[in-house]
Structure 1
Amino acid sequence: MVDENVFFKNVTRLICGDLEIDKALKECLDYIRAFIPADAMGFVIYLPEQKMFETIARADLAGADTRSVKFPADTFYQNRMKTDFSAPRITVAHPGDPEDYTLKFIRQAGWMDGLSAIMIEMVLTGKRMGALPMISKKQIRYEKKHIRLISLLNEPFGIALTNCLRYRKVKELKNRLLDDKRYLEKELFHVNIQEIVGSDGGLKGVMESVAQVAALNSPVLLLGETGVGKEVIAKAIHMASGRRSGPFIKVNCGAIPESLIDSELFGHEKGAFTGALSRKLGRFERAHLGTIFLDEIGELPLDAQTRLLRVLEDMEIERVGGDETVSIDSRVLAATNRDLDAMIKNRQFREDLYFRLKVFPIEIPPLRDRKTDIPALVHYFMHKKAKEIAFPGIPALALNSLPILMAYDWPGNIRELENAVERALITCRGMPLSFDDLATAIGPKKGMIAPKDTDVEATDGLSTLNAAAASHIRKALQKCRGRVEGPHGAAVLLDVHPATLRQKMRRLGVPFGRRHKHLYQKGC
C-alpha cells in the first residue's frame, strides 16, 4: 500500500525544489521508480506554430540534461493535439506493441528504445502544459495503481514545467543581455576613445600615456586645471582596461561632508550612528572588480587621507560600526587641480599618500595650450547640445566666430567651451552661432595681440595682413567645401601649390583636413 499523501508531498518537493530542472528530474526519477516502474522520464512540449515537439529536459538512471531536441509532429499527433481535454490525459503503451504511438513518439525524441511507457499530459487552470512520459526497458503492464499515482502528479509536474519554461526564458534573456552588454561595451570603448576630441591632436601625448597604463592595475594620478576633462580620461582608462565590465564608481572628495566621508567611502553597519537604519555599502565595495575614481583628492581632510592610505596599502576596509574586515579588489584613479607638492610643504596633504597615488601621473594640458582642438570641440558640442535641448537642426558658425573662439584664453577650459556653445545655441534662434560675449571679453584686454587667424579689425578700421589672408583662405575653403587640393580644391582656386597652402594655413592657424571639413559645409 502507498500513502498517497506522502508520495505526493515527496514528489512535489523533489520536482519543484530546484530551478535546475535536470537535477530535479533525476532526483524525482530515483524516488518515483520505487512506485512506478521507469528507467527514464522527461518533459516534452508541443509547438503549434512550428508543428513540432520539443524535449525540454530528460533524466535516466545514468544522469540528466536539458538538451533541447525538436522533432516534427506527424498528422496523427497534430490531430491528437487539436482534441480538447480539460483534465489530465494519461496514456499507456502496451508491451510488445511496436506501433504504439507513445513509444514511436519517444523514439522520435531520441530517447531510449523502451518496451513500455506511461505518459501524462498535464492541465493547469484549463490550459494544457505539456507531457511527461515515463519509459521502462522492460515489458511492464502498467496497472490502475500506477495510473492513479501518476494522475496525482498533474499539478506538481505542470508547475515544475511552467517554472522550467519561465526560468529558461529568463536565462535566455540574461544571456542575450550579457551578449548585448559585451557588444555595447566594445562599441562604447571605441566611441569613448573617438569622443575624446583631440586624441590625435592636443591630447595625443595623454592618450599615449592612457594606452601604456590602461591594461595594468597601477594607480593613476590625473593632474590638470578644472574643466580639462580629467573624468573623461579616467573613464577612457577604465574602458581600455580589463576591468571595463566592472563598475566605474566616481567619488567627488570635495563634495562629501567631513562627518560622512568614512560612511561614503567604506560603508556602515545598521545602527552605527543615528540614521543608519540599514547596512550601506561604501564606494570602495561598490567598485569591487572595477575602478574607483577619486576626483578632487586634494580636498580630503588629513584624517581621511590617513584612513585612505591604509585602504590603498592593504586593499581592505572596515565598515563604520563593524568589526569585519572586507577585502576589496578595485583599481584606484585619482585626480586633482591643486598643487599637491605645495600642499605637502604646508602639511595639508600626506606625502606618503601622494607617492602612493603618484605611481603613474598624467598631466592634462589646459585648452589654451591646445587651441588647435577648438574647431573639433565646437563641432562636437554643437551636435551634442543640439540633441540634448532638442534643437531643430545644427546651425552654422558665424564667419568671425572661430577667430574669437581661438583668441579667448578659456580659463574654465573645456567645460567653459561647452557652456559657451550651449549658450550660443539658445540665443542664436536659428541664426549662425556667434560669441559676442567672448568678443567683448577679449576686446578690452590691454596689450593683447590678436591671433594670426583673427578677422577682428585693427584700431584703425583695417584688418591685419595675416587676418585678411586667413579670412580669404577660409572663404576659399568654404567655396570648395573644405577640399584643399585637386581640380576643385582651394589650392587651384587660390593659384598656389597645395603644400604651400597647407604650410600657410598651419602658420595662420586656419583649420583644414578631414577632421575639420565639416566647418566648411554650411558656410562656417
Structure 2
Amino acid sequence: MEPLKSSIHDLVMGLPSLDVTASLSTCFNQLKAVMPLDGIYINYFDKQQRCIWPIAQVNALGTESQSGKISLNTFMCQRLTSSHRPRMMVLADVQDDPVTRWVLSNYLPQARSVILVRLLIDGVHCGIIGFYSNLANQYNDTQAKLLQQLHRHFALIAALEIQQRRQAGSNMSFQRRGVDQVMDTVPETVIGEHNGLAEVMLKVRSVAPTRCTVLIQGESGVGKEVIANAIHQHSNSGANFVRVNCGAIPEHLIDSILFGHEKGAFTGADRQHKGYFEQACGGTLFLDEIGELPLTAQVKLLRVLQTRRTTRVGGTGEISVDFRLITATHRNLPQMIATGEFRQDLWYRINLFPLDVPPLRERKEDIPLLAEYFLESAIRRLTDDDHSGVTEYDTEQLMEYSWPGNVRELQNVIDRAVISSRNGKLEFDLRGEVASVSAITSSAPVDDIEIIPLDTMLSQYLHRVLLLCHGKIHGPGGAAERLDVNPNTLRSKLKKFEII
C-alpha cells in the first residue's frame, strides 16, 4: 500500500487546478500505476429532480465532461437520502448495490467493482467520486480510506462545476451550500437576536442598509457567518451572498479562485472561470478568516478594494467589480500587523465598521433556543426516529458548561446526543467535554482522570492552545511554534476538528 499512499499524498498536496477534467486526468494517470483502475467518474444526486447528473469521467481513452441525466425511482431516492448510507463504499461487484448498478448501467456498463466516496463541504453533499475496475473483487477498505483523502479537492471541483452549469442555463438543482453560497444552512432568523445578541443585531440593522465594509470579530465557532448573512439579508439586496473561507484555499490556487482565469491560462484551464470578485458583483462578498490570507494575496486584495477593478489570471483587460465587502476573523489582526503577518493598509480598509460577536459563555441565555434549533436540525439530518425534546434538566446541564468551542461545539454535542439516543430519549453527557479541558489544566493524579476519546482530547487541547495564543497559528509566539509542529500540519488538525 505504500506506493498508493505516496501517490495520494502527492495528489493531495498538488492537484494542478480546479478544472474537473484536468484534475481527473492527473488523478487517473497517477493512480493507475499503483492500483487496479480502469476509470474515475464524478456524478451528482439531484434530490429535487430525482435523478443523477453525470459530471465527468476519465479512462484510458481520455477525459470528458458528461451531460444528460439518469432518472431514479422512489426506492433509489430513499436509499440515497437515508442517513444510514455511508460516506464511503467498497463494492466487490456493482450488482451488490441496486442504485450503483442502475446508474453505471446507463453510462459505464463495463464497470464491475468500485470504490465510492461522497463529496462533502461542511457536511453538505456535492456529489460522489467513483474509482472503478472492469474486473470484480479489485478493492478493499484500506484503499478506500486512502482515496477518501481526495474528497475535499474534488468536492470543491464538483460544487464549482455545478454552479457553472447552472449559470450556463442548466436546470440542475443545487439547493444547499457547496463552496460559496450560503443558503438554507444559515437560519433566516438569528437565534439570540433579542437576547445575547441584541446589541450585535442593533449594529447589524444600522450598518446593513449602507455599503460600508464590515469586519466581524470573535472566537472560533461564535457564528460570524450567521451575522454576515444577517447583514446581507437586512440590506434588502436580492443579489448574491458569496462566501469564501480564506483558510481553506490552497495557496497556489488563490489567484485562480479569487480573480478567475481565462481559457488556456495554465495547464487544464480549458474554459473561462469567473472569480469570486466577479461572482459577487452587485451583492455581498464575505471573506471568512481573512487573517489566513498570505501577504501576497493581501496586496492583490487591497488593490481590488482601492480600484474596484480586477484582472483574471491569463487575461489582459481589467474588469469592473462592485460588491459589498464583509470580512471575519478569530485572530488578533493588530498583533499580526505588529509581527508583519498582516498589512496595516489593508486593516484600515476592512476595519471601517468593526463588529464583535460575544462568545457563548457570555450569552448563556441563548443556549435553550440554540439547543432546540440544533435538535430539530439534527433529527432531520441524522435520523428518522422521534425524539424527546430538551428537558429542564438537560437545559441546566448545557447552561452550566463553559463552551470553549462556542455555538459550533453546542451543535456537535446535540448531534452526538441524537446519534447515541435510545428509544428517542436524549442524553446530554458533558462529562467528556469537561474532562477534556480539566485533564489539560489540572494537576490531579493520573488515576483520577477519566479516559475520553483521543479526538475529543485533541480537539479541546488545540482549542485551549489557540485561545492561549490569541488565535495566532504561525509566527513568533504562535500555536505552531509553541507546540513545535509545522504550521500547515497544525492548520490541517484545526480544520479536521472544525476549530477554524
Query: What TM-score do the two structures reach when normalised by structure 1?
Result: 0.47
Q: Which has the higher contact order (CA 8 A, sep 6+)?
A: 2
Query: What TM-score do the two structures reach when normalised by structure 2?
Result: 0.49
